[in-house]
Structure 1
Amino acid sequence: MRPWGWAASPHKGKWQRSFGVLQAIQTFKKKVAEEPNDGANYLSILIDCFRSYNAEPTPSAYSFIIRYLFRRHMLSHLPPVLDHLEKAERFDVPERIFVSVIRSFGRENRLHDAVDIFRRIPNFRCTPSVISLNALLSVLCKSKEGLVLVGDVLLKTPEMNIRLEASTFRILIKALCRNGKLNSAIEILRMMSLHDCTPDAKLYSLVLCSLCIQAGSDQVVEFLEEMRNAGFLPNALEYNSVIDVLIREGKANDAYSFITLMRLEGKIPDITSYNSVLDGFILANDFQKADELFDEMLLIGLFPNSATYNTYINGLCKQDNLELSRQMITCMERAGCKPDIETFNTLLAGYAKAGGMAKAKELMNEAIDKGLQWNSHTYEILINGFISKGILQVN
């Protein structure tokens, strides 16, 4: 006896169809897995399996066979599947299928095929969006060959009624920075407002950091000012990157001005900031400013680390103040900062330059007593020192 109301249930037909589709998909997956060779007509298998259950192939079924063909690298079977999906089926194809196809073509380095399927999306009764566009751009932007195709893709987006979003610009700017096309990255950053998109702090930071690696100080400082005018104040790490660029170009005074700017903005320059500028002053032989900077660090409560002491000791050695340089090791230890082998190498180079090879040998032994091991730099300094003294044998 059937339960009451069963015959009149309005959901019976829908339930039966869903069950038939489920069985068709399971049968289809089984037949595909059992297929012994690559010569099978997978489209026919798909259609026959669904027909045997009086059902129509679903988006999920097409998604499965497309993924299967990519996974097995049987891409010669893909065109008839896509053509049938485009011309014979009547359902609206979900955009997620095209996103998957685009990414799969990208992994196969078939960039033109990825572009082609993107442009065909409307033919599949699907409205393309920024989701599929971003998927394509992510694929293209991974290689220089793909970057060449980006411009043409973007020109076609108005015809496809796709609105560019901040996420789209982020993909483009990252790719341009990665490939050293910084002027183009800055230009696109400035164009974002024309598309009702506002660059965020992360995008400005990305471009600034790329400039610090690849560009000169003039362009870096100019962009930094543009970033500040846009309302994004750099953090201490970003300021340190700018300082490093200036030090690299011998502009220690300009670098120090950014330490002052950081403090005016309420940021506390860290030991890395001061170490870089200290090194810049010593490289410029401006020892008075180096001394003033070292004192300033202590006054604001920064604790020098081994890099600070090594840099300061190098400055003392350049002034031939070797005894004070050696006393700095004691100062380091009292401050709880353990000297490393580079500390001794710096002193060793100072004594070797001054011809004090006996003192240099004492330092080497002291380093060993402190549990340090000589490195290649140690031997290089020692050998050069003995050669300069005309000593060919070392006792």
Structure 2
Amino acid sequence: MAASKSISPFRLSSLLRLQKDPAFAFKLFRNPNPNPNKTFRYPLLSYDIIITKLGRAKMFDQMEQVLQQLKKETRFVVPEVLLCNVILFYGRARLPASAIQTFQSIPSFQCERTVKSFNSLLNALLICREYEKMREIYLGIDDFGSPDACTYNILINACCLRGDIEQAWKVFDQMQRNGIRSTVVTFGTLINGFCLNNQLKEALQLKEDMMRIFKLKPNTFLYTTLLKGLCKMGDLTLAFGIKDEMVRNKVILDAAAYNTLIAALFKAGRKEEALGVLEEMKEHGCKPNPATYNVMISGFCREKDFQEAYKILNGMEDFKPNVMSYNVMIGWLCKEGKWSEAVDLFQDMPRRRCAPDVVTYRTLFDGLCEWMQFKEAAFVLDEMIFKGFSPVCISMNKFIDGLCREGNFELLSAVLTSLAGGNVLNEDICKTVVSMVCLKEKSSEAFELFDTLTVP
């Protein structure tokens, strides 16, 4: 949309920053001047703002148009950090080839590639889990500078995510030999790797070495990582020891740390202690977040105390229940055979101003099929398809199998028609229907269903 009157370059940057709609911001960027014969001198700030907005919105075609325009600019030097952000946008979108291409194109912006953009590329490839490509690219690091702490942290993280702790240690040792000082991030990454691989003893020892030898103070992330690992292993005594250490060292316990402890206590059947941690959380000025309430709902459902779970769902103090809250509740109700209550809660979601998502539909559909409530399941399936969602194949096969075993071919025919209308009917479903009907030796029903499967 063209602007009605000329605006200054400074004003354009301000307008772009305030504009929440990236598509409209892009139109404004492309047409800031109503006079086509007058050259508009874009400031670097405007490029930075619009590229960031488009990258975050995954509007990569438009972002590339802006980048091509930026290449032609001669009035200023394009900062490397701007292109680093582009590389990371592609990484977060799981587009490793585009991240590599952007890195390779940096010289065309009259910008030098350094270890900073090299690290951005390594991180983007790590997000995409392109481990072999990371190794291949790392071999050429000497062309861009010497590896720094960030480089080694990324490489250590890659080793940990692959479960190769031995190689992570080798990278750590190489870091020390090259005189690169380890950071809290380095130790946090290694400790996270140990926890992911259930090596809690080694994780705790590394935390002690970090403090005693390297004189580094653990941060909230590192402590919370240890808490999660210990709670996962069911060692609540050590977990609360870590919590107490955080308090002594004046490290802030965030909602994630408290939520981890609350969930572990519920899982261990220590409901009263979990409620005590919730109160402590509030007393220390840490407000419960939606995840806290979801943990509580799941905890009470695990105890089969659905009355208390409903109280939390209906009485959240600071937040409106989100769809995950309902999904947790519906999942547990179905698991315990309370499918009728699950259906009621599902139907009440619109009144509560919370729209069901694909997980809601699949959870309820799976639960109804599990308890052989095929008529109710058919209604949920029909609405699911209308909303553009599709069921999991295993659940769909179980549903069709159940209808065939009951001999309910009338409902099956209606379901197949609905599936065909929503383009969800596939070859596997057709094979299941034909095989099950043939087993029933119902020739007339078989021909009628065959017509449903073949008539467009």
- Which residue number in structure 1 is paired with residue 78 of structure 2? 202
Using the TM superposition, give the Cα deviation of residue 207 of structure 1 relative to its aligned residue in structure 2, in angstroms: 4.5
**Does 2:193 correspond to 1:315?**
yes
Q: 1:240 aligns with which of 113, 116, 119?
A: 119
**Does 2:55 correspond to 1:177?**
no
**Does 2:243 correspond to 1:367?**
no
Provide the TM-score with structure 1 as the length reference: 0.53
- Which residue number in structure 2 is paired with residue 114 of structure 1? 6
Provide the TM-score with structure 2 as the length reference: 0.47
**Does 2:271 correspond to 1:271?**
no
List gaps (5 residues or longer) in structure 1: 1-108, 116-131
Using the TM superposition, give the Cα deviation of residue 138 of structure 1 relative to its aligned residue in structure 2, in angstroms: 6.9
CA contact (8 A) 1:349 1:381 kept: yes
The verdict on how the C-alpha distance between 1:385 and 1:231 changes in structure 2, with shifts beyond 3 A counting, is same
Distance 2:247 2:24 in 1: 55
Distance 1:250 1:308 in 2: 19
- Which residue number in structure 2 is paired with residue 343 of structure 1? 222
Using the TM superposition, give the Cα deviation of residue 331 of structure 1 relative to its aligned residue in structure 2, in angstroms: 0.8
**What RMSD over aligned residues (CA atoms) do the two structures have, in Å?**
4.0
Distance 2:67 2:201 in 1: 55
Q: 1:296 aligns with which of 145, 170, 174?
A: 174
Higher relative contact order (CA 8 A, sep 6+): 1
The verdict on how the C-alpha distance between 1:298 and 1:253 changes in structure 2, with shifts beyond 3 A counting, is farther
Using the TM superposition, give the Cα deviation of residue 366 of structure 1 relative to its aligned residue in structure 2, in angstroms: 3.3
The verdict on how the C-alpha distance between 1:189 and 1:366 changes in structure 2, with shifts beyond 3 A counting, is closer
- Which residue number in structure 2 is paired with residue 281 of structure 1? 159
Query: What is the identity, as a one-letter code, of the residue corresponding to 1:320?
Result: N
CA contact (8 A) 2:29 2:50 kept: no
Using the TM superposition, give the Cα deviation of residue 309 of structure 1 relative to its aligned residue in structure 2, in angstroms: 0.9
Distance 1:226 1:175 in 2: 20
Q: Deviations over 1:266-308 (max 9, x none)?
A: 5132222322332233223232332222222112111211121
Using the TM superposition, give the Cα deviation of residue 110 of structure 1 relative to its aligned residue in structure 2, in angstroms: 9.4
The verdict on how the C-alpha distance between 1:155 and 1:303 changes in structure 2, with shifts beyond 3 A counting, is same
Bigger Rg, structure 1 or 2: 1
Runs of 4+ in 1 over 6 A off after TM superposition: 134-143, 149-156
Partner of 2:204: helix, strand, or coil?
helix
Distance 1:306 1:209 in 2: 23
Matches within 5 A, 1:210-249: 210-213=86-89, 215=93, 216-228=95-107, 232-249=111-128
CA contact (8 A) 2:78 2:109 kept: no
Partner of 1:303: helix, strand, or coil?
coil
Q: Percent identity?
A: 18
Query: What is the identity, as a one-letter code, of the residue corresponding to 2:120?
Result: S
The verdict on how the C-alpha distance between 1:274 and 1:378 changes in structure 2, with shifts beyond 3 A counting, is same
List gaps (5 residues or longer) in structure 2: 277-456
